[in-house]
Amino acid sequence: MTYLDHAATTPVLPEVLAAMAEQLGRVGNASSLHASGRAARRSAEQSRERLAEALGARPSEVLFTGGGTESDNLAVKGLFWARRQADSRRRRIVVSPAEHHAVLDSVEWLAKHDGADVTWLPVEPTGRVTPVALAEALGDGRDVAVASVMWANNEIGTVSDIAALAEVAREVGVPLHTDAVQAVGQVPVDFAASGADALTMTGHKLGGPMGAGALLLRREAECTPLLHGGGQERDVRSGTLDVAAIVGLAVATVAAVGSREERAARVADLRGRLVDGVVDQVPDVQLNGAPLDDRIASGPGRLPGNAHLSFPGAEGDALLMLLDARGIECSTGSACSAGVARPSHVLLATGADTDRARSSLRFSLGHTSTDDDVEALLEVIGPVVERARRAGMNRR
Amino acid sequence: MRVLAAMSGGVDSAVAAALAVDAGHEVTGVHLALSPDRQTLRSGARGCCSVEDAHDARRVADELGIPFYVWDLADRFREDVVDDFVAEYAAGRTPNPCLRCNEKIKFSAVLGRAQALGFDAVVTGHHARLSDGQLRRSVDAAKDQSYVLGVLRPDQLASAMFPLGSMTKDRVREIAAERGFAVASKPDSHDICFIPDGDTRGFLARTLGSRPGPVVDAATGATVGEHDGTYGFTVGQRKGLGITVGDQRPRYVLGIEPVSRTVTIGTQDLAGIGEVRTGVPTWTGPAPAMPFAAQVQLRAHAVPVACEVAPGANGGLRITLAEEQRGVAPGQSAVLYEPDAQRGDRVLGQATVETPCEREETVRH
């Protein structure tokens, strides 16, 4: 099996597995006052401190959640509600149309059910949001509740300059949330240095468990809870702490951030070979997103493991099926819960036409990727594209 | 062979896919997303296109250990089946959308795409027998679906597999239960999948709007009522006319004239049809030599009747019925069978009914 879908999820690190298995074998609710409870709390709090350190945050800024979707929902809705509560004029949300659905659908829900007005940020053809565009959309910021721009795009891998964007937002007093699910462990991420007010991250994209994530939230940021109950996480998020998952999340984050530089260089090199090899066989293939060697102030302008390609005349889901049948696993980007392929909203947001969006595939490399994986893809991609082109675009 | 299993999420297509796996084929499951606005959960026993149905199909595919994908054919389905259905009703005709779906979607768009992607055949859960290119009725007469497959041509049949034709529906459910498929006891789907509430008249009224016209009694030529749209009627219909004519005898819809929007009704003695004229036929094999004797089935679930088939106008057929039939509506498919009690009645082909008429001459045999 050739796994080229690390952006969907990446294999759990062995040290994560070991740490979680050990923790799962222990009894103890981190909210209990007795010895078992204290031991569990100690594990959770050590994890909080380690995760905070790895990401340039203070421990009190780490809210453990059930993953990226919950963190995005909590940040967007929670900041919107709290800011509007403080000043009823703040009804506007400024957001990029290339965000993950966890952000987009939260924003659209607020617009539909809770009186939010949405200002969609223009994105460059690379998918990047510029500080100028954000400044223009925010205006004087007085009517804006929250702005949200992802650190790195999950489909096309484009990195935005969050520090520059946060500065713009700060000037007009608007909190900036950033979905950094794809960025952590791939590009340098420092919460304090970024100036963002809230940051979403999750475990299973960097070698940790699924269902465990965090929202980094500045101490002074007011955020209305989604989940009410025991108030475990700063009264912003309730629910018994999943200590084993939290331990796994922290171990994975520390490991991924620690090995980032070396791994990113290796993975980027493999990715370059992958793209070059595909171009050799399919000369008219189109690279979506930023150039492979793109740079921004904070570092790489594109995720090192991301290759997002459009194959004119072929359908993404046909390509995916043919590759799957040959043991190569990749992704077409957006899929709804029923698995119906839709043209990628990210590509459409960058100005690509429907055909280009429908003909795209995402290959994403990660910590277990090897030369053999790239070779396996290059062995079959030519004939697969040819066959998919014969099947044509399945629409008239 | 490399086989594509069309999996609706129902028990039939689940077992058909399983049997294809058992037969040693390399099987890939595909669920067809045909509805533009898919419901999350199935409502009632109708339809097959909810997200829940896709989930049911995926569960079976996962149990079988075969790849599974959802193909979005909503645009094609709307153009080729739903729009056609509406246009036919608007023209005073009574279409069969399942037949159209088999002709244009399952064994055209899907089969064509499958072949282009390297598959040799499409397997479905239809209840019909198919061997040596000969399409026959299912052994389960009550579940037989050969009528809606009658439109298939030899090249389409050559790449189709119907593994369920030689077993009863009860046996299909038994196999599903033996394999532990959760869909083993899922209710059969009925009626038209894109009208999940089963209210065809309501669907047409919403789509076509109010198009009132007169209801005329055939015997007197008198206007005996008004209607909101000819699409609310089908030739042969007796129930739901909402009109009582003086003599209290039951009336049947005899004809629908779309331009003047006239619905003509009449008594039973006027409703009988002795001859059917059709459009250009399709054949499941080589075209038979004319004229020939056969059986004809004039709508889904109708009892087949003996007939003689002769060439008609404009490349169509003239089908003379041995017994008069009621409820023969333009737009329906006349599917021709060669009776065969041993191996199952063989489907010869079909043609769309253009004009049902009173018998012009006595059937000769």
Q: What is the ipTM of this complex?
A: 0.85
What φ, ψ does residue A278 adopt, rounded to 5°?
Answer: -70, -40
Of A325, A392, A396, the CB nearest to B116: A392
Q: Verify whether the Cβ–Cβ distance A387 to B118 is below 8 Å.
A: yes
Q: How far is A339 from chain B (nearest CA, A)?
A: 6
Q: Verify whether the Cβ–Cβ distance B76 to A340 is below 8 Å.
A: no
Q: How far is A321 from chain B (nearest CA, A)?
A: 8
Chain B contact probe: residue of A328, A329, A334, A340 with most B CBs at under 10 A: A340
Closest residue of A to B49, CA-based?
Answer: A338
Closest residue of B to A396, CA-based?
Answer: B76
At A395 the pLDDT is 47
Q: Domain B210-270 belongs to what topology?
A: SH3 type barrels. (2.30.30)
Name every chain A residue with its beta carbon within 8 A of the beta carbon of B55: 338
* Secondary structure (3-state) at A26: coil
Rounded to an integer, what distance in angstroms lies between the CA atom of residue B60 and that of residue B11? 9
- How many beta-carbon pairs below 8 A join chains A and B? 53
Rounded to an integer, what distance in angstroms lies between the CA atom of residue A204 and that of residue B68? 24
Which of the listed CATH numbers 3.40.50.620, 3.40.50.300, 3.40.190.10, 1.10.357.10 matches domain B2-185? 3.40.50.620
CA distance readout (Å), B19 to A6, A186, B31, B99, B141: 35, 47, 17, 24, 21
Q: Verify whether the Cβ–Cβ distance B33 to A390 is below 8 Å.
A: no
Q: Which residues 6+ apart lie within 8 Å of B301 measured at CB?
A: B147
Chain B contact probe: residue of A321, A323, A336, A380 with most B CBs at under 10 A: A321
Closest residue of A to B34, CA-based?
Answer: A340
Closest residue of A to B109, CA-based?
Answer: A394
Residue with tokens 């149905």, as numbered in its chain: B53
Tokens of B207: 């789509």
Q: What is the CA radius of gyration of chain B?
A: 21
Question: Could you name the CATH architecture of A14-257?
Answer: 3-Layer(aba) Sandwich (3.40)
Name every chain B residue with its beta carbon within 8 A of the beta carbon of A394: 71-73, 76, 109, 113
Q: Domain B272-357 belongs to what topology?
A: Elongation Factor Tu (Ef-tu); domain 3 (2.40.30)
At B326 the pLDDT is 84
At B361 the pLDDT is 43
Question: In chain A, what is the straight-line distance between the N-terminal and C-terminal CA atoms, in Å?
Answer: 35
Name every chain B residue with its beta carbon within 8 A of the beta carbon of A317: 69, 71
Task: Give, as one character, the DSSP assignment of residue B315.
Answer: G
Sort A169 into a burial class: Cβ within 10 Å, 0-12 / 13-18 / 19+: buried
At A394 the pLDDT is 52
Q: Which residues 6+ apart lie within 8 Å of A133 measured at CB?
A: A121, A122, A123
Per-residue pLDDT of chain A (396 residues; tens, 9 = 90+): 999 999 999 999 999 999 999 999 999 999 999 999 999 999 999 999 999 999 999 999 999 999 999 999 999 999 999 999 999 999 999 999 999 999 999 999 999 999 999 999 999 999 999 999 999 999 999 999 999 999 999 999 999 999 999 999 999 999 999 999 999 999 999 999 999 999 999 999 999 999 999 999 999 999 999 999 999 999 999 999 999 999 999 999 999 999 999 999 999 999 999 999 999 999 999 999 999 999 999 899 999 999 999 999 999 999 999 999 999 999 986 555 446 667 889 999 999 999 999 999 999 999 999 999 999 999 999 999 999 999 875 543
At A193 the pLDDT is 98
Q: Verify whether the Cβ–Cβ distance B70 to A340 is below 8 Å.
A: yes
Q: Verify whether the Cβ–Cβ distance A394 to B109 is below 8 Å.
A: yes
Rounded to an integer, what distance in angstroms lies between the CA atom of residue A85 and that of residue B177? 56
At B328 the pLDDT is 87
Rounded to an integer, what distance in angstroms lies between the CA atom of residue B12 and that of residue B179? 13
Q: How far is A322 from chain B (nearest CA, A)?
A: 8
Q: Verify whether the Cβ–Cβ distance B118 to A339 is below 8 Å.
A: no
Tokens of A254: 């520390």
Closest residue of A to B50, CA-based?
Answer: A338
**Predicted TM-score (pTM) of this structure:** 0.88
Among residues A1, A33, A35, A336, which one is catalytic? A336
Closest of B325, B323, B299, B303 to residue B94, by C-alpha: B299
Residue ranges, chain B, pLDDT below 50: 45-46, 360-365
Q: What is the DSSP string of B121-174?
A: EEE---SEEEETTEEEE-S-TTT--HHHHTT--HHHHHTEE-TTTTS-HHHHHH
Q: Verify whether the Cβ–Cβ distance A318 to B117 is below 8 Å.
A: yes
Residues of chain A with CATH 3.40.640.10: 14-257
Q: Verify whether the Cβ–Cβ distance B76 to A396 is below 8 Å.
A: yes
Q: Verify whether the Cβ–Cβ distance A340 to B72 is below 8 Å.
A: yes
At A393 the pLDDT is 58
- Residues of A in CB contact (< 8 Å) with B are 317-318, 320-322, 324-325, 337-342, 387-388, 390-392, 394-396
Q: Is B193 a catalytic residue?
A: yes
Residues of chain A with CATH 3.90.1150.10: 2-9+260-391
Phi-psi region of B28 (alpha: psi -120 to 50; beta: other; left: phi over 0): beta
* Secondary structure (3-state) at A133: helix
* Secondary structure (3-state) at A68: helix
Rounded to an integer, what distance in angstroms lies between the CA atom of residue A68 and that of residue A205? 10
Name every chain A residue with its beta carbon within 8 A of the beta carbon of B67: 321, 324-325
Residue with tokens 């006239």, as numbered in its chain: B262
Name every chain A residue with its beta carbon within 8 A of the beta carbon of B29: none
Sort A273 into a burial class: Cβ within 10 Å, 0-12 / 13-18 / 19+: middle
Rounded to an integer, what distance in angstroms lies between the CA atom of residue B347 and that of residue B162? 14
Closest residue of B to A393, CA-based?
Answer: B113
Q: Domain A2-9+260-391 belongs to what topology?
A: Aspartate Aminotransferase, domain 1 (3.90.1150)
Of B51, B69, B75, the CB nearest to A317: B69
